[in-house]
């Protein structure tokens, strides 16, 4: 079973919990996700299944879009609603214009300190494990990019927002730092991811829908059509000779794609067999082989 499946992650489950459930539903061990969501977060969680787990490398830097609510008045040790308050709650009076002014300071590229309770590893140990043990968490700021951050509504001590960020950006840290800037503390109350790269909520299915489809033998009906994957790469449909060459590690001559760096290679409409990279002129060589007559011929090249 090879494919890409978008799950609408429910609250309380970790991304790894979702992966484990999908493994059990599909009876497929090879399942991975394209970007962790915090347990409180919901929304778009793309899963790669079977041979297509090898596509994960092409999604490591894709943008992510969120909607959520920031609560002002106190910060928490996790920077979200699941944490413990780090001080007494304050009464706050906020205006939409005021928060939009402050929000503009979080757009563009800047240094961000990750939350102490995060999956970022410190000498191989996730930061959240050290934080739960009350051990020192020597995190360092990292450069992130917030491409859009818009406060859409203010209701008492809560602000609704929309954001589009580059990979590696923590919305929990944005909420926490915004609270410090306003001067009253804040934390992330809710978060919903609405897009990852080309995948949107309209592509997503619940775990219950997946389970029902699996029992009917209709699982693959929920998969993203392979032609929709990685839309920034052009496609070529290989004939039998071309497919044999790509599957056995031999180069292809693709003069019509001489300006492309990476190309998706299909047989028929649905079988994605390889991602090829241009090595010289109009010659392309398989970077990864995703399907072949023998899995022993699969190989990767740089």
User: What b-and-e string marks burial along 42-80, b requiring 16 or more CB atoms within 10 Å of the CB?
Assistant: bbbbbbbbbbbbbbeebbeebbbbbbbbbbbbbbbebbb
- Name every residue whose Cβ is closer than 8 Å to that of residue 175 and which is 6 or more positions away in sequence: 68, 70, 79, 80, 186, 187, 188
Cα–Cα distance between 256 and 169 in angstroms, integer? 38
Is 63 an active-site residue?
A: no
In 197-298, where do the E strands start and end?
A: 199-200, 235-237, 252-253, 262-267, 271-280, 283-289
User: What b-and-e string marks burial along 124-142, b requiring 16 or more CB atoms within 10 Å of the CB?
Assistant: eeebbebbeeeeebebeee
Cα–Cα distance between 129 and 237 in angstroms, integer? 47
Q: Give the count of beta carbons closer than 10 Å to the beta carbon of residue 294.
A: 8
Catalytic, out of 8, 17, 38, 203: 38
So which residues are the catalytic ones? 38
């Amino acid at each position: 079973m090879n494919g890409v499946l978008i799950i609408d992650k429910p609250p309380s489950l970790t991304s790894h919990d979702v992966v484990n459930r999908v493994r059990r539903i599909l009876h497929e061990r090879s399942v991975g996700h394209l970007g962790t969501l915090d347990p409180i977060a919901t929304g778009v969680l793309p899963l790669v299944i079977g041979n297509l787990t090898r596509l994960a490398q092409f999604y490591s830097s894709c943008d992510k879009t969120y909607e959520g609510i920031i609560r002002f008045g106190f910060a928490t040790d996790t920077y979200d609603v699941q944490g413990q308050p780090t001080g007494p709650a304050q009464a706050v009076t906020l205006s939409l214009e005021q928060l939009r002014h402050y929000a503009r300071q979080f757009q563009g590229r800047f240094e961000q300190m990750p939350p102490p309770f995060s999956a970022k590893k410190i000498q191989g140990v996730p930061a959240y494990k050290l934080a739960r043990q009350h051990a020192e968490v020597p995190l360092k700021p990292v450069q992130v990019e917030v491409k859009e951050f818009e406060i859409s509504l203010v209701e008492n001590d809560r602000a609704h927002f929309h954001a589009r960020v580059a990979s590696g950006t923590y919305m929990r840290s944005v909420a926490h730092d915004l609270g410090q800037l306003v001067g009253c503390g804040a934390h992330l109350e809710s978060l919903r991811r609405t897009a990852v790269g080309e995948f949107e909520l309209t592509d997503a299915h619940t775990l219950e829908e997946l389970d029902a489809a699996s029992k009917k033998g209709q699982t693959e009906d929920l998969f993203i059509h392979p032609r929709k994957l990685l839309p920034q790469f052009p496609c070529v449909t290989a004939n039998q000779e071309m497919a044999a060459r790509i599957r056995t590690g031999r180069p292809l001559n693709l003069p019509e794609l001489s300006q492309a760096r990476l190309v998706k290679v299909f047989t028929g409409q649905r079988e994605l067999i390889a991602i090829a990279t241009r090595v010289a002129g109009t010659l392309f060589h398989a970077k990864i082989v995703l399907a072949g007559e023998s899995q022993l011929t699969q190989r990767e090249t740089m």
